[in-house]
Amino acid sequence: MEGTTLEPGTLVEHRYLIRRFIAAGGVAQVYAATHRITGREVALKMPRTDGGRDPLVHERLLREGHAVARAKHPGVVEIVDAGEYNGAPYLVFELLEGRTLGGLLAARSRLGWEEVAFIDQKVADVVAHCHQRGVVHRDLKPDNIFVLPTATFSIKLFDFGIAQLAPTAEGGSKAKLTQVGSIVGTPEYMAPEALQMDADQDQRVDIYSLGVILFELLTGSVPFEGRYADVLIRLSTQPLPSLAKLRPDAPPNLVAAIERCLARDKAGRFATMSDVSLALASMVLPLPAAPVGGGVSRADAAGGDPSGTKRTQADTPAAFKAAPVAGKRRFARAPYTTPAQLTLPNGELIAGQVEEISEGGVQFIAPRGLASGEKGDFRFAEPLTGKVLRTGAISRWTKAARAGRHATGFEFEGVSEESRASIRKYVELMGGS
Q: Is residue 318 a contact partner of residue 294, using CB atoms and an 8 Å limit?
A: no
Distance CA 234, CA 288 (A): 40
- Residue 177: what pLDDT? 40
Structural domain includes residue 307: no
- Let me know if residue 6 belongs to a domain: no
Q: Phi and psi (nearest 5°) for 92?
A: -125, 120
Q: What is the rounded CA–CA span in Å between residue 70 and residue 137?
A: 12
Strands (E), 263-307: 296-297
Does residue 239 sit within a domain? yes
Give the pLDDT of residue 376: 95
The rounded distance, in Å, linking the Cα atoms of 248 and 262 is 18
- CB distance 95 to 77 below 8 Å: no
104 and 77, same domain (yes or no): no
pLDDT the model gives residue 51: 53
Last residue in a domain, options 224, 256, 281: 281
| Residue where one domain finishes, among candidates 48, 71, 94 | 94
The verdict on 403 and 327 lying in the same domain is yes
Final residue belonging to a domain, choices 48, 75, 94: 94
The tens digit of pLDDT for each residue in 108-119 reads 888 999 989 998
One domain, residues 403 and 277: no
Tally of domains in the chain = 3
Instruction: Please state, in angstroms and rounded to a whole number, the distance separating the CA atoms of residues 124 and 179.
Output: 25
Q: Which residues neighbour 73 within 8 Å (Cβ) at sequence distance 6 or greater? A: 126, 129, 130
- Indicate if 335 and 229 belong to the same structural domain: no
Residue type, 41: E
Catalytic residue flag (residue 139): yes
Same domain, yes or no, for 252 and 369? no
Q: Are residues 108 and 252 in the same domain?
A: yes
d(CA 174, CA 172): 5
Residue 3 predicted with pLDDT over 60: no
More confident residue, 20 or 313: 20
Average pLDDT taken over every residue of the chain: 83
Say if residue 56 is in the same domain as residue 200. no
For residue 294, being part of any structural domain is answered with no
Q: Note whether 119 and 85 are same-domain residues.
A: no
State whether residue 296 is helix, strand or coil. strand
d(CA 382, CA 70): 34
* pLDDT value at residue 149: 57
Residue 174's pLDDT band (cuts 50, 70, 90): very low
Q: Which of 248-262, 272-286, 370-384 has the lowest mean pLDDT?
A: 272-286
Instruction: Place 173 in a pLDDT band, splitting at 50, 70 and 90.
Output: very low
For residue 294, what pLDDT band results from cuts at 50, 70 and 90? very low
* More confident position, 149 or 351: 351
pLDDT at 172 over 60: no
- Residue 376 covered by a domain: yes
Residues 142 and 254 in one domain: yes
Within this chain, do residues 165 and 112 fall inside the same structural domain, yes or no?
yes
Say if 3 falls within a structural domain: no
Residues 279, 247: contact at Cβ < 8 Å?
A: no
Q: How many CB atoms lie within 10 A of CB 255?
A: 20
Q: What are phi and psi of 352, to 5 degrees?
A: -160, -150
Q: What CATH number should be reported for the domain holding residue 56?
A: 3.30.200.20
For residue 413, the enclosing domain spans 322-429
Q: What H or E segment, with its residue span, contains residue 132?
A: helix 113-132
- Tell me whether residue 365 is exposed, middle or buried, using C-beta atoms within 10 angstroms of its C-beta: 0 to 12, 13 to 18, 19 or more: buried
What's the pLDDT score for residue 297?
Answer: 38
Who has greater pLDDT, 294 or 276? 276
Residue 124 is predicted with a pLDDT of 97
Over residues 388-407, the mean pLDDT reads 90
Look up the CATH number of the domain holding residue 183. 1.10.510.10
Query: Quick one: average pLDDT of 93-103?
Result: 86
Could you tell me if 50 and 146 lie in one domain? no
CATH number reported for the structural domain that contains residue 388 in this entry: 2.40.10.220
**Which among 120, 139, 159, 300 is annotated as catalytic?**
139
Q: Are residues 105 and 175 in the same domain?
A: yes
338 belongs to a structural domain: yes
Residue 214 domain flag: yes
Q: What CA–CA distance (Å, rounded) separates 119 from 146?
A: 11
Mean pLDDT of all residues in 69-76: 95
